Amino acid sequence: MNVATIQDVAKAAGVSAMTVSNVINDHPNVRKATREKVLQAMARLDYRVNVAARNLRKGRTGTIGLAVPEVNSPYYGRLAAAIIAAAERHGLRVSIEQTGALRENELEALSMSRNRLYDGLILSTVGMGQADAEWLKVDYPVVILGERIFGGPVDHVAMPNIDASQAATRHLIERGCRRVAILCGAVEEVDVSTLRHTGYRLALESAGLSVDPDLVQCLDTLTMHAGARRAREMAHSGLDFDGVFCVTDTVAMGVLRGLADASVRVPEQVKVIGFDNVDESEFLVPSLSTIDPDHDTMAERAVGLLAGRIDRAEPRGDRQEFVSRFSVVVRESTGG
C-alpha cells in the first residue's frame, strides 16, 4: 500500500483535508476534540507530511546551501559543524557543496541556488576574485563567509584578518623574534593571504623592522603538505628566520612537522603562530599558538543574516557586514 496523504487522514478522521492541515500546522481554530481525532488518525496511518508538496506550495525548501572548499579540513569542518548547528536552531537544514576552492565551482554553487533548490546560500569564497563580484548579483539570499569581495552587493561575515594578523605577528615580535617569516598563498587578490600579509607587514613596520622579501614565503596551496615541505626547504636553505606566522593552522601544522624534520627546535630556535584555532592545535607537540576568530559567532551570524533575508525578504539596499572578534591564544609554539 502507498504512503498516507492528508486526504487519507482526513477520510479516516471524518474531517476535511484542511482541518488535518490546520492540525499539522498548529493553527488555532481547531477544536480540541477534532484535533484529537485527527492526531489519532495520523498516528494510525503513520502519516508523514510530504515535504516536496509543501515546498512546492510554499515556494520554500527549508534548506540552505553551504559551499565550502572541503569539509575535510579542520577549519571548514569546524565551520560547517557550527553552521549546521546554527541552521538547526533556525529550523533550516544544510546541504553541503564542496568547491575544492575552485572559482568555477563557487560560481556553480551560486547558480545551483537559482534552481531554487535552496532558500539561500552561504558561500565561502576562496577561488572567486574581485572580478567575479558581478556574479553575486543574484535574486536570492546569499551570505559570503570569509574574505571580502570588495564592493560586492551581498551580506558578508568576515574575520578581522588584518588586525588579527597584525596581532599575531606582534606577538612573535614581543616574544623576541626579529626575523619573522610569513607562510601564505599567492598575494594578489583580496583574499586571506593578501589581507593577512598586510597585517603582517603592518606589525613589522610599527615595530621598526624591515620587511625582507625572502621572508615572504608563498605557497601554491594552503595545506599541511605544502607547509611541511616549505619549512624544510627554509631550514635547509640556511635562510635566517626566528619566527613564522602561518596564515592558517593547517599550514602551521605542516610547518611544525617540517621544522621537526629539519631538527629545528620550536619555540627555542623558531617560534610559530597559526590562524584559526582549530581543535587540533591545542594538542599538537608543541601546542600551537594561534588566532581564535570565534567560529561559533561567525556561524551564528551568517545563518542569522541569511534566515533574516529569507523570512523577511529584506530589500537589497541595506547590505550587512559582520566582522568577528578575535583573540590571541598563546601556547607552547611561541614559548607560552
Partner DNA sequence: TTGTAGGCGTTATCAT
Partner DNA sequence: ATGATAACGCCTACAA
Which span (11-19, 70-78, 86-94, 265-273) binds DNA, by CB under 7 A? Answer: 11-19
* Residue 33 interacts with DNA (CB under 7 A): yes or no: yes
Which span (20-28, 66-74, 99-107, 274-282) binds DNA, by CB under 7 A? Answer: 20-28
Burial class (CB in 10 A: 0-12, 13-18, 19+), 329: buried
Return the residue of 1, 26, 31, 318 that touches DNA, per CB under 7 A: 31
* Residue 327 interacts with DNA (CB under 7 A): yes or no: no
Residues 260 and 179: their CA atoms lie apart, in Å, by 19
Residues found near a copy of itself in the complex (CB under 8 A): 3, 48-53, 55-56, 59, 61, 63, 70-74, 77-78, 80-82, 84-85, 88, 93-98, 114-117, 224, 228, 253-254, 256-257, 260, 279-280, 282-285, 287
Return the residue of 36, 40, 43, 50 that touches DNA, per CB under 7 A: 50
* Residue 2 interacts with DNA (CB under 7 A): yes or no: yes
Return the residue of 26, 59, 151, 315 that touches DNA, per CB under 7 A: 59
Show contacts with DNA in window 148-167 (CB under 7 A).
Answer: none
**Shortest Å distance, C-beta 106 to DNA:** 25
* Residue 3 interacts with DNA (CB under 7 A): yes or no: yes
List the single partner that 16 binds among DNA, a copy of itself, none, CB under 5 to 8 Å by kind: DNA
List the single partner that 94 binds among DNA, a copy of itself, none, CB under 5 to 8 Å by kind: a copy of itself
- Summarize as ranges the residues that interact with DNA (CB under 7 A): 2-3, 5-7, 14-19, 21-22, 24-25, 28-31, 33-34, 48-50, 53-54, 56-59
